[in-house]
A and B are shown apart, each in its own frame.
Chain A
Amino acid sequence: MPRTGRIREKLRWSKIYTFSCIRHPESINADAGPSLSLSLSLSLPLPGPGHSRIVRCNQPRAHKRKPLDYPTNYISTTKYNIVTFLPKAIFEQFRRVANLYFLLAACLSVTSISPFSPVSMIAPLAFVVGLSMAKEALEDWRRFVQDMKVNLRKALVHKGNGRFSNKFWHKIRVGDVVRVEKNQFFPADLLLLSSGYEDGICYVETMNLDGETNLKVKRSLEVTLPFEDDRSFKDFTATIRCEDPNPSLYTFAGNLEHERQVYALDPSQVLLRDSKLRNTSYIYGVVIFTGHDTKVMQNATESPSKRSRVEKKMDRIIYILFTVLVLVSLISSLGFAVKTKLEMPSWWYLQPQRGDNSHLYSPSTPGLSGIFHLVTALILYGYLIPISLYVSIEVVKVLQAMFINQDLQMYDEETGNPAQARTSNLNEELGQVDTILSDKTGTLTCNQMDFLKCSIAGFPYGLSSSEVEIAAAKQIASEESGGSVQNGGGIDYWENGGSGFGSSPEIELEGGITCKIEKPRKPMIRGFSFEDDRLMQGNWMSEPNPGTILLFFRILAVCHTAIPELDEETGGFTYEAESPDEGAFLVAAREFGFEFCRRTQTSVFVRERYPSSAEPIEREFKILNLLEFNSKRKRMSVVIRDENGQLLLLCKGADSIIFDRLSKNGRMYEADTSKHLNEYGEAGLRTLALAYRKLEESEYSAWNTEFLKAKTALGPDREAQLEQAADMIEKELVLVGATAVEDKLQKGVPQCIDKLAQAGLKIWVLTGDKMETAVNIGFACSLLRQGMKQIRLSPMNKELITQDANKAVKEDIQKQITNASQMIKLETDPHAAFALIIDGKALTYALEEDMKHQFLSLAVDCASVICCRVSPKQKALVTRLVKEGTGKVTLAIGDGANDVGMIQEADIGVGISGVEGMQAVMASDFSISQFRYLERLLVVHGHWCYKRIAQMICYFFYKNIAFGLTLFYFEAYTGFSGQSVYDDWYMILFNVLLTSLPVISLGVFEQDVSSEVCLQFPALYQQGAKNLFFDWYRIIGWMANGLYSSLMIFFLNIGIFFTQAFLRGGQTADMAAIGTTMFTCIICAVNMQIALTMSHFTWIQIVLVWGSIATWYLFLLAYGESSPLVSGDAFRLLVEALAPAPIFWAVTLLVAAACNLPYLIHISYQRLYNPMDHHVIQEIKYYKKDVEDQIMWTRERSKARWATKIGFTARVDAKIRQLKGKLHSKVSSLSGQTVVATPPPDVL
């Protein structure tokens, strides 16, 4: 194996870590939210129910036989397999009421009750169901391929005799020993045996499971530590007895029996499938749970089948139509019964007295005949229910999904992933979204930090500007210069190529505020975008306070828990840090000339590079103590002894915490630094303050004894003791400076959020991260800004362990919510914006039944909502609350397995693909590779799809009502006997061929406005969110139009063909002639109608609309030429009778015109006097006014924004107001500076 010759750094990490390694499992659980914290006993689990699993380590063969025959590691998420596909899929199909109805009709069609021939009933149904099933099969096949991709991943598995070789994931069995290398996923749930570190520690990234980005430490049992290379597994055996498969991620109970000794196991030895090995070169583990037994799979819930609102409404319309159908059938059968009883006896030509062994037309039993007739009528008027509607919608949606998949502007060059519509039934829902619930890490951010600025000794360094500053300056510049706009897009900073600010060099404002604007250079070094020559290349030596700067750099280089890794190719170091911030600091320190190069158990070595000497000097800093970071302390410190023997405490932490702990004479730079911190916060940067303290030897040793005592203490208050001890020394600090790190947002995220906000969407951020991080990201994404009133809901810090603690906390939260609601109510300033920030614990209470509506109404009143430290379950609960509480469409977007619940719960789930984990994508309805594609997905595709589907459905109902009702009217003329005026074939073809393609082309290709316009006028999106195109008004309008058309079609035809001859040759029209003419009228009228409905004609629509009409005539011609036994009365009808009759053509023209007259009047009037937004924009585009009058175009574009309080634009506006205010006050300059009334945000 390749491990030979590898340089391995063996470190005893447990020594460096103060808290986490010895931390009890409960404390891990406590962070994960109360819903998951289950008490766990560390005592040996009793064998009994729930703990029956036995794993024979390294003996996978033992698991091939019963009773230890556990499932393999094969996973399958498909709905069907080859055997179950047919029955299951058919069952699914006939769960749709309409399909069931048609199935019944088809069954009855073989009896004489049916008014139609069997083939005319069965053929369309078979076609429609077959197509839907084909789609279903295709989608399941895709899932299968996706599964196989995972199943066919390879892992190193012990084959015996100490040899490891690659094996497919799905072949891994319980009991296998596997070796997982760095950055690989664990193939199953493993028991950690040993790792690349001497003491069996390894780091695990569980982002896929719970979304937490910080690495988790796992630790093997002492007893398994010797098994640290391949050969040692030759004879390894052990037995694990443990709990049965269960979905709880944070618990595990079991024991390991090795060489007749029993050792207790706890969750810190278990590595879960789909988490990832980080910062550790390799681990060995034994498989405990495989495949669907793994915790992650146990957590996977079956993805619910979602249906869009439009479709649900459509169902209701179908029910209405069913009611109409039943009503019409009842009228019809009543009429039939009456006619049969009263009149039929006198119709001798029907030989009423001679029944043909049935009661279909028996005057003696009119009731029975009536009931039979009811069935006939229900089948006959079935054309009211568009059988092809579902299948047409499905076809349309698949094609729409194809367009989404093929959209190059949603294709990510970096990951090579196109957007993917994983289910196509929610396309139109994309156009109606009201609230977006977004995950943070991996969705909004790339979880990568960039060192951007710093403030040292009260001097700000770092010239790179954040995007907010650049855009604000640019906007002001354009306003100052009289509104002249470049490229016609002054407001849209982003239009001109994202960061393409390179054109404007430097803008100097009156007040002397200089903003250097240049195109941000793509950072050459990952994690380091700092640009300031004053600190680089050793120039800092000539700065005012070189000593402080030196200290600053040393704190960066020494105060951390990272380990360096030598990159053998470049000779440089990369760092494996616990958090990306730390990594960024180390990179920054390296770039400043303080390269952290080696860590031993007791020391940190830093190569310091000074301009005075060519060679770097390697210095050793002895680490005496490490006081670790946690979210409560919000700081970390190290106690070091430098080469001069000087004892120093170096500390970095949240500014508020550090500022509280400064000594009197350590506050020299406090004012300046806090000013800079505010600026950084405003620019959306994560800030940390750095400080140090010189320690006296005696003081330290006194403290150290205390600390050691605390460290070795046992029991639950050990942690508190440790904290207390740390507290004792972390005071009297001297402030050195502050850092500003940019949490790298994913490309285009602020712009996208801005656009989405302008489109009227609300954006909630739900993150598992801590509040500070979430708030920072809120700033970076412009969801928060300075001047926004932040409402923070978190439980009070009561250390009560009493029973009514819960109640007290709840009451507290209740009070906070009430107060906040009151505050919003009392707010008079219309521009005031509120932000709600709530943490997971508070959310637990807020989501309780009696409080959740109050919470929701508060949240809805706030411009932005950020929920931090929420568990996956809470994410789903919040999503459900929003979905059900507001009744609006919610969209959840996320990338990790922790987002799966929310993705499945939301109306639309969007997964971010491209990052390694696939869970979110697998559970999602749409996957995109970058958050920013959401804008195009919603504003362009969503808008289009919504309009297309809405118009399409309306039209479908129209055409089927127009057609179906003519059958009913005709019945009244046939004594309600159930005779249809049309040939069976006409009716088959009506839905399948003659009218379906144009409406499909409407559903696929219609564009009210082009994609650019959609993006430029985000307000157009509201047409969907307000459901303007599928409201009852519109639906009923279309139905009325159908009713009108049916009346026109029928009665004009009847009137015109009344009894007289219709040909010069004297022949009168028979049923076939009238039926065919009527049908021709329908075809022409409905196809003309769809042409009027469309506003966008490519050659496809033109061909399909005209083609449908032409097809009808061609069909008639061909049908007429077929054997008279097939065509019956339609034989040569067109050629011989209809075509030579001018009246036939005259009727067609008349009816087509008359049917479309009301619609034409409606749209003419509406467009003239009540135009909708897209009408006006179409006109502007049509007359090319946007080119002629660019100022108007730009102005309208800027106005076409939802008056939003969040997003980048709102923020720039606020910044402009602020800068203008400053300028103004400088000009007037008498009464001093206006003080910003709002207090600085409580950031870190």
Chain B
Amino acid sequence: MLLPQTRNIGLPMMNLMRFKGLPILQQLHIEEQLLRTSSENWCIINDGTNDPTIVMGVSGKPAELLEIESVLHDQVPVIRRFTGGGTVIVDHETIFVTFICNKEAVPDLQPYPRSIMSWSGSLYSKVFQGIGDFRLRENDYVFGNHKFGGNAQSITKNKWIHHTSFLWDFNVRNMAYLKLPKRAPAYRSARGHLDFICRLNDYMPRSTFIDKTVEAAGTQFSLRSLELEAIETCLETEFRPSTRFLTSEELEVAAAVAGQ
């Protein structure tokens, strides 16, 4: 999408990378490396990922969060990512949007979780203006009291990342792999997954959501589109991301310890 240059004078530069169906582990590795090694600002949009994958936050305990027996039986991959937050199951119906920013990129923004979350809420308010009673509610993106996007963050000395998985649509069967989390927002009111979440598909066409997100980002940053190939030579080959798959053995041990 061509952005009017006159609107971008004086705005900080942000690199925009768009993918379709990039494996989620690869996306997370790119994000972790850019957070740790790049001095630039980034927006990454991945329109769906390939295989259904469970993604836990950094402190996630498989026995508490997953129906491990089913996960192992159906060989669903499980990733532990480098950011905080909860557990999601993602697939080709999930849209991922990530912002990686220098501390100074957003004026007057303190690099703390609630401030960054509030900033993201106001950005997405522009995307969903007039649609479905959108708001940031107890750190979730909701329409009314139904969650449609899970987000998480990581904050370093000089940068922060805020990334979101939006439920464009979801497979009801996949939700059965996830237990009800012990730690849940009050507005969830102990509702099961299917009563708690909703589909973005019911509110906005897929391409419209992506276009409006890029447009909203363009009001605060001067966007420059980049392809992955353009940055692959710059990504440090010695960087070792912490984000990884959990092995079957680890899941089996977790289940055994928890007495599942």
Task: Determine if chain A interacts with chain B.
Answer: no
Residues of B within 8 A of A (CB): none
Residues of A within 8 A of B (CB): none
